[in-house]
Amino acid sequence: MSEMLYWKALNRAMDAEMAADETVLTLGEDVGLYGGTYRVTEGLMAKYGEWRVRDTPISENSFTGLGVGAAMLGLRPVVEIMTINFALLAMDAIVNMAAKIPFMSGGQFPMPLTIRMPGGVARQLGAQHSQRLEHQLMNVPGLRIVVPATPQDAYWQLRQAIRSDDPIIVLEHELLYFSKGEVDEAAEAPPIHQAVVRRQGRDITCIAYSQMFPLALQAAEQLATEGIELTIIDPRSLSPIDWETCARSVEQTHRCLIVEEDCRFAGAGAEFAATLQERCFYLLDAPIYRVAGIDLPTPFNGTLEAASIPRVEDIVLAARQIMTPPGESA
């Protein structure tokens, strides 16, 4: 086990899979000579050559469609879309091709395609470069979506995605790339879509994914000084969702708080809230709360940008409100 940066864990995962299977290749803008915008493909072109590490033109729908075709022919392509914002240009290949071909062909054409997408609010990149878009991808039957929040999960889940015969979107938050964590490359990975209880508490189940997970942990430590104990669940996957782990925790705490960076309206948090309300309604002691981004394009101004997405203090305030009896103020 060693401490590793998030981007390096992804790089090691790519390297390991390319070494183990010559059908694995990667393609995208600047993945070759430049080594990837966030260094994830650094050194791979020198090691595996231009055929398996391919720089592409700036044409997302074209090179994502190329990945679809390569997967149909038995290769295991890893497509890097430079940011999730540019995935909007590749939605035809993702939605109409990758997600549907296995079903429409009656299983004759599996789709061992991995699509990596950095995204999220990352310090004044402007509204067109700060989107999350997981809600759009979650609404596409046939796609699987993972959201690794730690270097260990980045390593595990990317390797598992590459080995899968289904199209899997790997959503990587741009602010996590230079976060550090322990990575055990020899450890056995849990199932790719299994949620993990990161912290155990008695009062509130807090479900937080991607960049919101470390913020939820910070909030939990602050709340513990006030006598409020949070269970923190990292879902690790947004499609499918591990409902059993989430529901089991809500059954223990009787309260639920969902934290997401994406906009609140019709977001991933809405799906968590609706399904857990159906499964746990008679066990809840308070309404399910959601802390999410404000429903507006992300401002460029740094102060306004920070105010448009959840902060630690927002999670703390929401937890206090959940624990406050009706009629009293938090």
pLDDT score of 327 more than 80: no
pLDDT score of 114 more than 80: yes
Cβ-based neighbour number of residue 182 at 10 Å: 12
Say which amino acid occupies 83.
T
The helix (run of H) or strand (run of E) holding residue 247 is helix 243-253
The whole-number pLDDT of residue 199 equals 98
The whole-number pLDDT of residue 117 equals 96
Has 129 been annotated as catalytic?
Answer: yes
239: left (phi over 0), alpha (psi -120 to 50) or beta: beta
pLDDT in tens, 25-64: 999 999 999 999 999 999 999 999 999 999 999 999 999 9
Q: How far apart are CA 34 and CA 55, in angstroms?
A: 9
Torsions phi, psi for 89 (to 5 deg): -80, -15
- What mean pLDDT comes out for the span 217-231? 98
The whole-number pLDDT of residue 220 equals 98
- What mean pLDDT comes out for the span 133-160? 97
The whole-number pLDDT of residue 261 equals 98
pLDDT score of 119 more than 80: yes
pLDDT in tens, 54-72: 999 999 999 999 999 999 9
**Average pLDDT of the residues of the chain:** 97
CATH level 3 topology of 7-183 = Rossmann fold (3.40.50)
SS3 content of the chain, % helix, strand, coil (to 5): 40, 20, 40
Contacts of residue 137, Cβ cutoff 8 Å, sequence gap at least 6: 94, 143, 145, 169, 171, 238, 239
- The confidence band for 147, taking pLDDT boundaries of 50, 70 and 90, is very high
- What is the number of H-type helices and E-type strands within the chain? 12, 14
196-323 and 7-183 share a CATH fold = yes
Catalytic residue among 60, 134, 172, 261: 60
- Partners of 78 in the β-ladder: 26, 114
Catalytic residue among 17, 29, 80, 129: 129
pLDDT in tens, 154-198: 999 999 999 999 999 999 999 999 999 999 999 999 999 999 999
Q: Please tell me the pTM assigned to this model.
A: 0.96
Has 229 been annotated as catalytic?
Answer: no
Q: Domain-by-domain residue ranges, the chain?
A: 7-183, 196-323
The whole-number pLDDT of residue 18 equals 98
pLDDT above 90 covers a percentage of the chain that reads 97
- What mean pLDDT comes out for the span 118-143? 95
Contacts of residue 146, Cβ cutoff 8 Å, sequence gap at least 6: 157, 161, 168, 169, 170, 171, 192, 193, 236, 237, 238
The whole-number pLDDT of residue 34 equals 93
- What mean pLDDT comes out for the span 98-120? 97
- The confidence band for 143, taking pLDDT boundaries of 50, 70 and 90, is very high
- The confidence band for 329, taking pLDDT boundaries of 50, 70 and 90, is confident
CATH number of 196-323: 3.40.50.920
pLDDT above 70 covers a percentage of the chain that reads 100
- The confidence band for 75, taking pLDDT boundaries of 50, 70 and 90, is very high
pLDDT score of 144 more than 90: yes
The whole-number pLDDT of residue 326 equals 79
Q: How far apart are CA 218 and CA 212, in angstroms?
A: 10
